[in-house]
A = this chain, B = another copy of it.
C-alpha cells in the first residue's frame, strides 16, 4: 500500500533485530511510504548480519548505540540529522529488557540492580532519547515519537514481572514529556500498547503460548501482529494525526476492552471437561 504517507519525512528507528521485530516491519513499511531514516540498536545487535540486510534493503545507515548512554544517543541524533539532511520527523522506540525475567528472579524476589537496569533500558532510555533530541532541537515541528508498550502497564500478568512497572514508567514518560515537547515544539509523543506478538520461538500450546492463545480468543479481531502494528505506527508518524499526543493507544484487536468473549469462555470451559475426563480415568 504505497500511499506516500511519509514522503519526505526523516526518522530514526530503534530496535529492529530480525524480521520478527515490530521495528523491522516499521522500517520496511516506512520505506515503502517514502520515508528515509536511520536504524539504531545495541552494538552487539548491529554486528548481526540481519540489521545490515535491513539497512541495505531500505537504504538506511545503521548507527549503533547503547540507548541508556547519553553520548551514544547524542551521536545517533547528530549523525541522523547529518545523514538524512535535516531535522527529524519521527522516532520509534522499541526497546525493552529485564534481567530479572532472564535470570528468573520472581517479582517477590527482585534483584534491585537488575530492576534498575530494567527501568533504565526499557523506560528511562525513552526519556534520555527524547531529552537528547529536545536539547539538540533535532525534531521538526509536528514531529512524532512513538514508544511500544503492553497492557501489563495497566493490568497484572503473572510472569511479566518488573517489565510491567517499566511499561508504566514508559507510558508516564510519554505523558510527561509529551506535555513539554508539545508545548515547546509541537512534537507529539505517544505509546502504542500492542498485542502480545508471536516471537521467533514459535507457537506451542503451553506457557507463554497459552497467554497468546487466550489473548487471540478474547480479542474480537484477534491479536494484532507486527505488520499490523507497523501500519498503525505509520498513521501516528503521518500528518493525519497531528493533534494526538500524550496517549497510550491500544492496538490489540479489542483485547483491552474485553471482559470475556464467547470464544475464550468456550475454550476455558473445556478445561472442566478435562477434569471430568480425568475423574473418569
Contacts and interface: CB of A to CB of B under 8 A. Distances in A.
- What does DSSP make chain A's interface, helix, strand, loop or mixed? helix
A242 B225 CA distance: 11
Contact of A210 (B205, B238, B265): B265
A175 B155 contact: yes
21 contacts: A106-B180, A108-B131, A108-B177, A108-B181, A109-B131, A119-B119, A127-B165, A156-B258, A160-B259, A169-B172, A179-B258, A195-B243, A210-B265, A214-B260, A214-B268, A221-B245, A232-B244, A235-B241, A244-B251, A246-B257, A247-B250
B241 A154 contact: no
A103 interface: no
A156 B254 CA distance: 10
A138 interface: no
Contacts of A231: 239-242
Interface residues of A, number: 105
A229 B242 CA distance: 9
Interface of A: 1, 3-5, 70, 106-110, 112, 115-116, 119, 124, 127-128, 131, 134-135, 151-162, 164-165, 167-169, 171-173, 175-184, 186, 188, 195, 205-206, 210-211, 213-214, 219-222, 224, 228-229, 231-232, 234-235, 238-247, 249-254, 256-263, 265, 267-275, 277
Nearest to A253: B243
A190 to B, nearest CB: 10
Most chain B beta carbons < 10 A, residue from A178, A235, A239:
A235
A157 B145 CA distance: 20
B232 A262 contact: no
